[in-house]
Amino acid sequence: MRPAFSVIFFTVTSGCGYGLLFLLGLVLAIHPDSINRIDALIPLGTGAALVGAGLLSSTLHLGQPQRAWRAFSQWRTSWLSREGVASVAGFVPIIALVWCLWRGADADVLQALGVLLAVLAAVTVVCTAGIYTSLKAIPAWRNAYVLPGYVLTGLLGGASWSWLIGAWSGGAHAQPALMAALAIASSALKFFYWRFIDTAPAASTPESATGLGRFGRVRSVEAPHTEENYLTHEMGFVLARKHATRLRWISLMLIGAVPAILATCVDLSQSSAFAVACATLAALCVTAGLFVERWLFFAQAKHVVMLYYGGTRPHHV
Amino acid sequence: MTTLPPATRKKLGLVIDLDICVGCHACAVACKEWNDGGQFGPLPDENPYGAEPLGVWFNRVHSYEVEPAEKGKPAMTVHFPRSCLHCETPDCVTVCPTGASYKRAEDGIVLVDEDKCIGCKLCSWACPYGAREYSEQRGVMQKCTLCVDRIYNESFEEVDRQPACVMACPTRARHFGDLGDADSAVSKLVAERGGYDLMPEMECKPVNKYLPPRPRRDGCDSMPAKSVQGDNVDFSTASPLLRWMDKVLSR
């Protein structure tokens, strides 16, 4: 699949934003008393900004963005519509929390809004993953690794930004250990995901696509058109295997090893400047690594329609 | 509404005979011609006379070579028209966030309401068959309408109320009818010839059916290969006239 930058930017930034909002929601739900106003408002604002930027970016992918409001209507069947509804609903606790934290509110209210924020953030990320896992035509997306992948990488992004904010503001919610655990879990999951998509046997073949398998092996001898069309442009994106392997390692380093090492190193020195440097580097690496991971998620996903164009066996040389 | 109708009263669709399709692309061209000016048009082309033309077509004709596993058997060339299969459970409809994609309860035709489409392209990702093509110029998704603006068009003679591709096919490789009615001509054809679904593993339950090529005649090896004997033609047993001509021309 052709990696569209607007969609990659959307899934990465909104994933990080919802991860951050989810963690903040949890903190508010568990310790509504202990968190001070500024320590809650900064991650709330950052999370809302990341989510908002992602949503705006996703509309750039549309051919008719002025009609985007229609996307809230088909939540009964469409994960994309559900995601739209959940993402807008998520702004209700965000705005309510800004109001309550600014004006001061009871712990009970903060706790309830924290729970709502965490739930809606989680639901939105699950809906995002649902868009991809519902597509039977793209086997690399319709498997058991994709949903946990979106959840874990969202949490990892959120944890790295949370640590960054905590380190810069000297606040209480710096969680390098949590981020290190998520970094290891995310990179391990991606490793096994890639092994899965490389080795899983294909359910569809040129033979099943044409139904001519009973007569023998099917080979495309002439495409319907000499130039590209929408299908070959959108679904026929090919990434050379040698580049894929290198990009996978870069991504594993950036979202796994480097943040885990930084989270371990931060305890070596008591200096707060060192902690800020570690947190900043970790957030930068994780975010960059997620961009590489998401780019690969698209670039390496093969669509079965390419079977009609003879696009299985010669691919990925 | 992207919720699928539990059942459709009719299952209108096409039956495509791979045995007699000659790969002339007349169906594709007739489709483009009709739909460019029809109710669901235009079907714009980008850069039509430039180096890399790109445009929306609802029909695409592929050509395949099928190589039998058995050694010595000749390979088969099969021309393969590909268009929307108007599936019974189309994923392209259920993923649509706006309700622009829908399946008609009355006849099962899958359509796009171009006034509601936001151009998110998700339906084209969901379709395993490549039935949907996006128009960059119009910013909406377009697809085969089964010529819904022809088949019910009362300004046409009854015989002409057929999809443009079916009308245009010079070998009658395309048939249109109600595949939900077991007594229809198309259903009988499917039963008789063993019509089949493309990629049944995708569980979209296509309505359109494909008829397999009939078995080819064997005996390539035993064919008297007079025409390929080249220079070594033996004229000693030929007619006197040919022997004389051989003699004259050999001087």
Residues 6+ apart with CB under 8 A from A4: A61, A298
Q: Which of B75, B78, B91 sits opposite A136 (nearest CB)?
A: B91
Which range of residues forms the domain containing residue A239?
A: 175-317
Which range of residues forms the domain containing residue B182?
A: 12-211
- Is there a domain that residue B216 lies in? no
Express each pLDDT in B174-198 by its tens digit: 999 999 999 999 999 999 999 999 9
- Is there a domain that residue A150 lies in? no
- Is there a domain that residue A157 lies in? no
Cα gap A286→A290, rounded to integer Å: 6
Express each pLDDT in A82-99 by its tens digit: 999 999 999 999 999 999
Express each pLDDT in A133-185 by its tens digit: 999 999 999 999 999 999 999 999 999 999 999 988 876 555 889 999 999 99
Q: So what's the ipTM on this one?
A: 0.93
Hey, how many other C-beta atoms are within 10 angstroms of the C-beta on A245? Answer: 11
Residue of B250 and B183 predicted with greater confidence: B183
Provide the β-strand partners of residue B174: B16
Q: Best of B62, B102, B165, B193 to disrupt the A interface by mutation (most A CBs within 10 Å)?
A: B62
Q: How many CB pairs under 8 A join A and B?
A: 205
Domain count across chain A? 2
**Is B69 in contact with A212 (Cβ distance < 8 A)?**
no
Whether the CB of B120 is below 8 Å from some CB of chain A: the reply is yes
Q: Best of B125, B133, B202, B210 to disrupt the A interface by mutation (most A CBs within 10 Å)?
A: B125
Are A4 and A90 part of one and the same domain?
Answer: yes
Cα gap B145→B130, rounded to integer Å: 14
C-alpha angle A2-A256-A136 in degrees, rounded to nearest 5: 35
Express each pLDDT in A268-304 by its tens digit: 777 888 889 999 999 999 999 999 999 999 999 999 9
Chain B residues near residue A76 by CB distance under 8 angstroms: 2-3
- Is there a domain that residue B152 lies in? yes
Interval B8-22 mean pLDDT: 96
- Is there a domain that residue B108 lies in? yes
**Is A63 in contact with B119 (Cβ distance < 8 A)?**
yes
Residues 185-244 of B with CB under 8 A from A: 196-204, 210, 212-213
What tokens were used for B152? 């019910």
**Is B2 in contact with A74 (Cβ distance < 8 A)?**
yes
User: What dihedral angle (degrees, nearest 10) is formed by the CA atoms of A192, A198, A201, A202?
Assistant: 120
- Is there a domain that residue B200 lies in? yes
Express each pLDDT in A227-236 by its tens digit: 999 999 999 9
Chain A residues near residue B58 by CB distance under 8 angstroms: none
- Is there a domain that residue B58 lies in? yes
Are A294 and A198 part of one and the same domain?
Answer: yes
**Is B62 in contact with A220 (Cβ distance < 8 A)?**
yes
Express each pLDDT in A305-314 by its tens digit: 999 998 654 3
Give B35-54 as a DSSP string. Answer: HHHSTT----EESTTSSS-E
Contact B62, A224 (CB under 8 A): yes
**What CATH code is carried by the domain that includes residue B145?**
3.30.70.20
Interval A194-208 mean pLDDT: 94
Give percent of chain B with pLDDT exceeding 90: 79
Instruction: Please report the pLDDT score of residue B221 as a whole number.
Output: 52
Q: Which of A67, A68, A224 sits opposite B60 (nearest CB)?
A: A224
Interval A200-224 mean pLDDT: 94
Domain count across chain B? 1
* Domain end point (choices A102, A134, A166): A134
- Is there a domain that residue B126 lies in? yes
Name the minimum distance, in Å, from the CA of B28 to any CA of chain A: 10
Express each pLDDT in A35-86 by its tens digit: 788 889 999 999 999 999 999 999 988 999 999 999 999 999 999 999 999 9
Interval A117-124 mean pLDDT: 98
Tell me which residue of A6, A117, A118 sits closest to A54, measured CA to CA: A6
Are A188 and A314 part of one and the same domain?
Answer: yes
Instruction: Please report the pLDDT score of residue B82 as a whole number.
Output: 98
Tell me which chain A residue has its CA closest to the CA of residue B132.
A231
Residues 17-76 of B with CB under 8 A from A: 18, 23, 25, 28, 52-57, 60-69, 75-76
